[in-house]
Chains A and B, each alone.
Chain A
Amino acid sequence: MEKPENLSDEKLVDKIRKTDQELYAIIIERYQNKLLRYANSLIKNEDKAIDIVQESFINAFINLNGFDIKKKFSSWIYRIVHNQTLNNIKKYKLETPLLPDWDFKSEENIEDEFGEKETAERVNSCLRELPTMYAEPLSLYYIDEKSYEEISDILEIPMGTVATRINRAKKLMKNICPKN
């Protein structure tokens, strides 16, 4: 019989629902670091991010029967953290607006200038400067290594919009965090 640690998220969730709630600890261990980083990139406050992650795990457990195991658990749990974070931001009115004077002058191909690896490192340090609507898809793409489709699932926006926001985020980052 396969060890629970080796099971996929979806099979693990199925077991948690049917037989053993103790296995939920494995889910928490698998996701807590990633989710903390994600929540932190949105709310920009580690203490609040920890609270959000804790609340999200509680919410996810309560609603575990609502998860469709044919779909990706990771997108589902990220979506819960996303909602929890937005609720928290609304509560404390911490949303960072997009400043009107931020321009998009450069039309050059940013992809050429930022290599994938270099972009990942720079994203990590500059992410806090970006407005949430751009920071979020960028963080999911480069740091959490989610596909456009998964990001589209998590943020509930079309894939085209995901691509546009990531592109704009990279342009914004070029202005906010120059290379040297």
Chain B
Amino acid sequence: MPKELKDVENIVMEKIHQGKIKMKPKIYFILGSILTFIGLVSTVIISTFMVGLIKFSFRANNGWRAQYKLDQMLSEFPWWIIIIAIISLVLGIWIIKKYNFAHKIKPWILIVGFILAILIAGLITDKTGVNDALIIKHQPMRKMMKLEPPQNNSFHRNIPKQK
């Protein structure tokens, strides 16, 4: 063995003996999985609400009212959840990827699975009425679901009434 390599072993082991290098606790690495999980759950919740809300909007009314409600939904949407989702996902994946091989799952399987999960969850939520029963009763979604546009709205005034 070359002398320098023998030194490598001695130097590393000496640092371990002297306590100069210590293993990071397991929780540090578990944190990556936890953050990724939180990020994924938040993303699924956001997307499910979005699918449910859009379907809700178009089911209740057609045409200009649907468009109005869609605009209202977007303006009232709690965007901070998306920020939490993004930060959790980015941090979680970064920690996992740094020292693991978790990336080995084929990306297209992840993407297709994720989109399908969101669509199915959204449709089930909508069909079962969970969004109507639970979400509407609580802020911030309640504001989004208040459907009637203000009567003095200029946009509203220009619409000819049905005879």
Contact = CB atoms under 8 A, between A and B. Distances in A.
B23 A25 contact: no
A24 B25 contact: no
A66 B16 CA distance: 18
B11 interface: yes
Nearest to A29: B9
Given A50-B4, A53-B8, A61-B23, A21 B16 contact: yes
B12 A65 contact: no
A67 B16 CA distance: 18
- Tell me if A's interface is mostly helix, strand, loop or mixed: helix
Contact of B23 (A17, A32, A53, A75): A17
- Tell me if B's interface is mostly helix, strand, loop or mixed: helix
A96 B5 CA distance: 26
A66 B28 contact: yes
B26 interface: yes
A79 B15 CA distance: 22
Nearest to A80: B99
B138 interface: no
A64 interface: yes
A62 interface: yes
A28 to B, nearest CB: 5
Interface residues of A, number: 29
Contacts of A36: 5
Given A32-B5, A33-B1, A62 B12 contact: no
Nearest to B26: A65
Contacts of A156: 103
A88 interface: no
A91 interface: no
A28 B26 CA distance: 22
Nearest to A156: B103
B29 interface: yes
Interface in B7-25: 8-9, 11-13, 15-16, 21-25
Interface of A: 17, 21-22, 24-25, 28-29, 32-33, 36, 50, 53-54, 57-58, 61-68, 71, 75-76, 79, 153, 156
Given A33-B1, A58-B21, A65-B25, 9 more contacts: A32-B8, A36-B5, A57-B8, A58-B12, A61-B23, A62-B24, A64-B23, A65-B28, A66-B28
The 9 closest A-B pairs by CB, nearest first: A66-B99, A66-B29, A65-B26, A54-B8, A28-B9, A57-B12, A50-B4, A63-B99, A32-B5
